[in-house]
Amino acid sequence: MVDEISSSDLIVVPSYDVQLQNFEIALLDTLRQNGLPTESVFVDVGERITVSKNIGAVLTRISLEQRQRSIYISKFLAAVAAGLFDAALNYLWDQTILELRNRVSRYDLSYFYDNAVRSTEKRKNLKTVDHLVDIDDSELIHGAKEIGLISELGYKHLDYIRSMRNWASAAHPNQNELSGLQLVGWLQTCIREVISLPLSDVAVEIKRLLANVKTNSISNGEAKEIAVFFLKLTQEQVNNLASGFFGIYTRSDTSSQTRQNIHRLLPLLWERVDETTRQQFGIKYGTFVANNDQEKNLARQFLELVSAMPYMPDALRAAEIGDAIDNLLIAHRGLNNFYNEPSFARELKRLVGPEGKVPSQANKIYVLGLVEVFLSNGNGVARNAEPIYRELINQFDSEQALRAILSFNNSNIASRLQFPLCQKKYLELLDLMKIKVSEAAVKELVDEIEAYKGSLENMREDTRIRRKVAITQRIIS
């Protein structure tokens, strides 16, 4: 006969919200006893419950094997339960970066470094998986987008989360309030765009091609067959693949067989490489020459291979300006940018000179770089660098002014225009630039932009504006 269980033998487990409330009360008592602040320490229990109720459905998007190694998601949930949403956002970003590094390490590291890192000097020191930690988060997600590991939309979302991580998480002292739905939404984005995202067919094909170039001998016939694949690539993918070929070709440890493969492939790709990318190869060559690097002869051979000698800079100053812009952008996109930016801004001003003359090869990178730093990072203005940016922008000629007006059509600038401060700064820039242009088509475009009622980040998708952009771009083509 089974003994009856009395009510006194039952263990009643409090509901989850009650457990969280009891934990909070106990911890607040500890803080109070030690004379520490107790106000605005924890997020409301209701917000924590919101995350708890939605987390299961979000996590089903990743496999059990992935979940078992996702230590930072565990820490994310622990921070959520503790009511520390700023710390939770930090852990979520740590998991995203860890997964993105894993994806890059399984792809082609050299190809990634060639497209993610624009600074020639920095690129030299990046070779192995261990060097991925030397890549800034902004470079990592930008490089992943460049080589097709994440989509442009995914990049835009991750760029926003990165900005929030920098300014609304425990990475910085702050008093920002994050909601449970925000955290769940960001977790879902990171899972969808990075953690559970399969490689695209094109990314798989490029990975296979790069491996083939490095390990096998490619005949003329095989090169022509591969050229059919080039026709499937977008303009951005063509440019990135050409940059990958340049990086492989100019490395001292590249075999002669691999260079011979590029000899056969590059002429078949070159017709589709855009002018900006061709000019960047010239700038890189100039950097090698300026530094007397051993790669300079290989870079020259690469350009000679496709009769690209005209893209070599007339003055090595173009290379110096290109590097100065790269260094400025690295400082601007990183932590402590308000402190680091001014010295790089002053160096750029020194290179440009009092008349603001820039070699044509560096014109586009110079304008887009200045526009990005002028727009700010969306959270505040680097006050000691801002006057320098204004001075250099006010020196723009009519062509540079038009490039600045059209900058909203660039994916990096469009991503910045998610933020209200950047939108305000772009309209301010537009006001400075419109007096420098006289063409009727450009003035019509400016009027269209000023009358645009939607969000500026989506402006480049508007049919009317795209039509006017196509007309005005012919002026600087």
CA distances from 387 to 14, 152, 325 (A): 60, 32, 17
Rounded to two decimals, the pTM is 0.75
pLDDT at position 316 over 80: no
> What residues does each domain of the chain span?
16-107+126-195, 201-311, 317-473
C-alpha angle 136-140-141 in degrees, rounded to nearest 5: 125
Indicate the length of the chain as a whole number.
477
Residue type at 2 in one-letter notation: V
Q: Helix axis angle, 137-146 relative to 109-116, nearest 10°?
A: 110
pLDDT at 6: 52
Question: Residue 288 CA to chain centroid, in angstroms?
Answer: 26
Measured CA to CA, the distance from residue 123 to residue 169 in angstroms comes to 30
Q: How far is CA 433 from the centre of its chain?
A: 26
pLDDT at 391 over 80: yes
Chain segment 106-144, per-residue pLDDT in tens: 999 999 999 998 888 888 889 899 999 999 999 999 999
Q: Report the chain's terminal Cα–Cα distance, integer Å.
A: 93
Q: Using 50, 70 and 90 to split pLDDT, how confident is the model at 35?
A: confident
Query: Residue 141's pLDDT is what?
Result: 94
| Rounded Cα distance, 325 and 118, in Å | 10
Sequence-ordered alpha helix ranges (H) in 291-397: 295-305, 317-333, 337-352, 363-375, 386-394
Q: Give the C-alpha separation, 250 to 106, whole Å.
A: 23
Band the pLDDT of 39: cuts 50, 70, 90: confident
Place of tokens 């690469």: 302
Percent share of the chain, pLDDT over 90: 56
User: pLDDT averaged over the chain?
Assistant: 88
The tokens for 130 are: 């261990």
Number of H helices, E strands in the chain: 25, 0
Alpha helices in 11-151 (DSSP H): 16-33, 45-59, 64-68, 71-81, 85-105, 109-116, 120-124, 137-146
